[in-house]
Amino acid sequence: MPIKERVFNLFLTITIMAIVSLVLFFPLRDYVRTSDLMTYRIAYNFANGHGIVFNPTENVWPTLSPLWSILLGGMIGIIELLGAIINPEVIQVPQSFYVWFASALTAAIYGLLASSIFYWLRAENYSLLQIGIVIGLFIAAHPVWLGMRSAVPLALLFVMNALHAAKSERYSLSGFLAGIAILAHPTAIIGGILLGLYLFQQKSSWRYWRVIWLPLALWIAYAALTYDVLLDGLLAHRQFVIGDYAQALIWSGLLLGFTWTSLRSSWLAILATWAVLEIALAVLIIGDVPTIESPILALVGSIILGQWIIQRQWQAFPALAVWFGVYLLFPIQTEAALKTDLALSKTIYIPERADLLHDRSDMIIYHQDDFTDNIYRFDGTHSPFILTETEFGNYESIVIALAPEFIYVNEKTLENLALDLRSDTLSPLRYRREIDVQLDPGQREGDQLWFRDRSVGELGDTINLNITINPDIRLKSYALDRSRLAPNEPLRLRLDWELVDDYPRYPIGLQISLLDIEGIPLVTVFPSYEARTWARNQFSTYHALLIPSEAQPQVVRIGVAVDYRAAIVGSAEIGNVVIRSTETPPEQFIGRISEAILYDVDITLNNDSLTTTLLWGIRAPLKRDYQVFVHLIPVGEVQPVATGDSAPLGGRFPTSYWHPDEVVFDPHTLSLADVPAGQYELKVGFYVLGTFERLRDENGDNLTIAQITIDESGEIRIEPN
């Protein structure tokens, strides 16, 4: 090809790309689909270092089209990095920028696709007039195939480049591009296989098959090693859409009705077959026809119709009528329900660090620039966990497990789910409803916004147990949201069960208690589960227990009992929880023994009994459980005449559970009834029961806290140090 012609073609290619990008950017700015939020949420999390996930704390494989989110998130990550270099005060790009940038990037990809169409049609000896008509028809058909941030055009772009590389006998490059296309959208696997089958007639086609699988294999390997949950729930809640079927019928009829007279090139036949198979597989596998984001049909149809128009074939007239009919029937517009949710997203405010559970579409956070945490839906979209629990109607378990800071839900939804956010089961989390004075834009009659009024922690690591409760049930493991709590704080607990034998015929009840050192329950909950819940063989239950306001600092045991037909059939104690003091350590202290700190002492005399209350703390954790000794020793001697030794708080708060930045009030009582008159010192310290090994440092192993004088008349005088 002469240099002038190459330059001219390059100029036309760039011009077409720029024009198409600008033309399509404007309708893309205000067009929103349900799947759009997933795309930029994944990109947002990817750009901010959370990985390719929908929710930052849920390690779930969220998409079958990772390339688009990686591309969008990677480019915005670069923009954020450059912005931080230019202006360090800018921490991160708001989510609203993702919406705008995604629109611009999508328009640019469509522009590249249009320029690629021009380039390849020129290679097929189409005239400039034919190419202009084809691209014009392709753009005119955008109400049918256009999708904001759609990944399909990206896949089509890679496949068409793979076709071009194959024509140039660059088979390895062709296979690699076809493999990348599959990561852009899974339907590209159809085009990749069809191209590979076509290339079987070529001697070196093995080079194509050698590399096409590589990108997908790398992605699957990454997913298998990275995600806790893979494909569970990804294809759930697909719905049959009448409009999609109508479009599918129109496009299929338009395509197949005259294909036999029009497909003069093998690569066009590949695209046409791809388009038809895409519809067939969508119906068979998903039950939905996503033609609104499938420009392959529009491209092939545009080429065929462009040929007819140039050749003045009579088929062009009814085809054009169908074309404009589709345009009128399916104009590009955001669905009415999404418009309502978009309006709501402008009026509702969800703080930056706040999980949200809701019954709307994900567009509820579309304009929430500061929202960075998890978003959950009652219908289970994006969440395999919620999907599983909804099958058994365990909505209270969902709320306890997620413990979202905010719940936006309609009262009819709560009625249908039989969910009471003020129930005894959920009362430890204390959800409160914000009072709405009037309906804001986007709100429905009966909408309610609830917020959690107590703090919770994240459910921690799984602790293995494998305790056989009875011959039929095994308690495999458990997890806590935190192991140290203050009074009036909720404890969230997950119990992981395994059914060893046949599942029960009757409901099974549980008794979950926090037991003190004497086995007396401080708090108990009594959840009950229908028999069908246990039919899963392995499942988890979620519980919330509120630490009583009057509870004293201590270590308590978690007790679990199983109740079947009004009888306890098994029980176990599974772990410890610390009820901590709400007092903060004072700045001044009396003395130290190694890591132990004595902050204060209160000594009271009641007849012949001396009660000493010690206020302890630690600088670093104590690895052993010590006894505390309180000894009354004559001055100048070593043997005590009265002692008040015991474990801290009578054994309720072992020293191995003490924590820095907390204090422990530890009372001890000594009897002075048989103590003779004299001068005495009151000393305190720590020792290990059994070995009597004392806690010590370079200053010794005890602290003198008072001087006590007992005169001949029996009068006792106390002089604290």
Asked if residues 510 and 560 have their Cβ atoms less than 8 Å apart, the reply is yes
- Which 3 state secondary structure label does DSSP give 643? strand
Q: Which fold does the domain 463-579 belong to in CATH?
A: Immunoglobulin-like (2.60.40)
Angle at CA of residue 278, ends 274 and 279, nearest 5°:
125
Contacts 24+ apart (CB under 8 A), 189-194: 189/216, 190/273, 190/274, 190/277, 190/278, 190/281, 191/155, 191/156, 191/159, 191/162, 191/270, 191/271, 191/274, 191/296, 192/159, 192/162, 194/270, 194/273, 194/274, 194/277
Asked if residues 234 and 64 have their Cβ atoms less than 8 Å apart, the reply is yes
User: Which candidate, 185, 167, 149, places its Cα nearest to that of 72?
Assistant: 149
What's the pLDDT band for 232 if we cut at 50, 70, 90?
Answer: very low
Same CATH fold assignment for domains 463-579 and 591-720: no
| Helix ranges restricted to H, 204-294 | 206-226, 242-257, 266-281
* Averaged pLDDT for residues 321-347: 72
DSSP symbol at 646: B
Mean pLDDT of the chain: 82
**pLDDT at site 325:** 62
Asked if residues 679 and 709 have their Cβ atoms less than 8 Å apart, the reply is yes
Which tops the pLDDT comparison, 100 or 423? 423
What's the pLDDT band for 37 if we cut at 50, 70, 90?
Answer: confident
**pLDDT at site 715:** 87
**pLDDT at site 126:** 81
First-to-last alpha carbon distance for the chain, in angstroms, is 102
Sheet holding 431-434, edge to edge: 375-377, 356-358, 406-410, 447-452, 431-434
pLDDT(318) > 70: no
pLDDT(216) > 90: no
Written as one string, the DSSP assignment of 333-367 is ---HHHHHHHHHHHH----SS--EEESS-GGGGTT
What's the pLDDT band for 291 if we cut at 50, 70, 90?
Answer: very low
Asked if residues 447 and 354 have their Cβ atoms less than 8 Å apart, the reply is no
> What is the percent of the chain where pLDDT is above 70?
83
* Averaged pLDDT for residues 29-35: 72
Q: Please state whether beta strands 678-687 and 627-634 pair in parallel, antiparallel, or not at all (unpaired).
A: antiparallel
Q: Please state whether beta strands 664-671 and 609-618 pair in parallel, antiparallel, or not at all (unpaired).
A: antiparallel
Tokens linked to 706: 């008072």
User: Which candidate, 540, 545, 573, 578, places its Cα nearest to that of 664?
Assistant: 578
User: What are the residue ranges spanned by the domains of the chain?
Assistant: 3-329, 336-452, 463-579, 591-720
591-720 placed in CATH 2.70.50.60: yes
> Residue 577's CB: how many other CB atoms inside 10 A?
22
**pLDDT at site 289:** 47
Residue in the block written with tokens 């004497």: 518
What b/e string do you get for 204-226 counting C-beta neighbours within 10 Å, with b at 16 or more? ebebbeebbeebbeebeeeeeee
Name the residue type at position 49. Answer: G
pTM: 0.79
User: Which candidate, 105, 95, 34, 18, places its Cα nearest to that of 293?
Assistant: 34
**pLDDT at site 598:** 97
- Which 3 state secondary structure label does DSSP give 432? strand
pLDDT tens for 456-497 read 999 999 999 999 998 889 999 999 999 999 999 999 999 999
pLDDT(330) > 70: no
pLDDT tens for 523-544 read 999 999 888 888 777 889 999 9
Tokens linked to 506: 């009757």
Question: CA 29 to CA 148: how far, in whole Å?
Answer: 8
Q: Please state whether beta strands 356-358 and 375-377 pair in parallel, antiparallel, or not at all (unpaired).
A: parallel
Question: CA 717 to CA 371: how far, in whole Å?
Answer: 64
